[in-house]
Amino acid sequence: MAFGRKNPPGPQKDSWFPADSWLPLPTPEVKEGGESVWEAWNEESRRMDLAFAPTQPSEVVPLSRGASEDPPRRHSGPWTTDDTMVLARRNNRACPRPALWAALYLLVEGDHYADLAPPPTQVWQWSKLSNLQRRLRFREHIEWAERHGKLDTMANYMESLAEADWVHMGEN
């Protein structure tokens, strides 16, 4: 014995959407190739280039200090992650040069911990990373130092580096 409604024999039709009311879908007029398509592409490309022009240095905050000025020094007291990041990014810095970054890694004893990846100072690693990726990796090291109580050691080392000891954004 079957339960439920009994369907009447014969073909079923939806009363709310009859099949004979279907209309063909509109098709857009397509032109393949031709100079007009290429010109439209070039115009759109030019428009996007103008919309996303290269950034310009800020006139409000200078990126570098004059040669006669002493480099800014941190007041006494414990370092915070934010203070250390300001120091690390001063003058548009990305990270320390490879040999100095490796020395910093050994100074904070990063090689004794499994949760800190070594700095990408090998030539095959260094050449594959952009300066932004290096900056992000260096930020991970700063955050690690804060979690392990080694931030003061790291920040004092960073503060002792000369400006030439840093890789800057935009350098190759």
Q: Which of 23-37, 78-92, 149-163 has the lowest mean pLDDT?
A: 23-37
At residue 158, the 3 state secondary structure works out as: helix
Give domain status of residue 160, yes or no: yes
Give the orientation angle of helix 131-147 with respect to helix 98-107, to 10 degrees.
10
Average pLDDT of the segment spanning 145-154: 90
Q: Which is more confidently placed, 41 or 60?
A: 41
Under the banding of pLDDT at 50, 70 and 90, the label for residue 142 is very high
Distance CA 96, CA 168 (A): 9
**pLDDT digit string, tens, across residues 44-103:** 888 877 777 666 666 665 555 554 444 555 546 788 888 899 999 999 999 999 999 989
β pairing state of 93-96 and 166-168: antiparallel
Q: Is the pLDDT of residue 163 over 80?
A: yes
Give domain status of residue 64, yes or no: no
Give domain status of residue 104, yes or no: yes
Q: Which is more confidently placed, 110 or 31?
A: 110
Structure tokens at 5: 């409604």
Give domain status of residue 51, yes or no: no
| % of residues, the chain, pLDDT over 70 | 67
Composition of the chain by helix, strand, coil, percent to 5: 45, 5, 50
Cα–Cα distances (Å) from 166 to 98, 148, 160, in that order, read 9, 24, 11
Structure tokens at 6: 């009994």
pLDDT for the residue numbered 75: 47
Give 92: exposed, middle or buried? Use CB within 10 Å, 0-12, 13-18, 19+.
Answer: middle
Please state the pTM of the whole predicted model: 0.56
Domain count, the chain: 1
Domain hosting residue 120, numbered range: 100-168
Give domain status of residue 94, yes or no: no
Q: Is the pLDDT of residue 156 over 60?
A: yes
Give domain status of residue 50, yes or no: no
**pLDDT digit string, tens, across residues 104-120:** 988 888 778 778 888 88
pLDDT for the residue numbered 37: 77
Give domain status of residue 5, yes or no: no
Give domain status of residue 111, yes or no: yes
pLDDT for the residue numbered 16: 59
The alpha-helical segments, DSSP class H, found in the chain are 35-51, 81-89, 98-107, 123-126, 131-147, 151-160
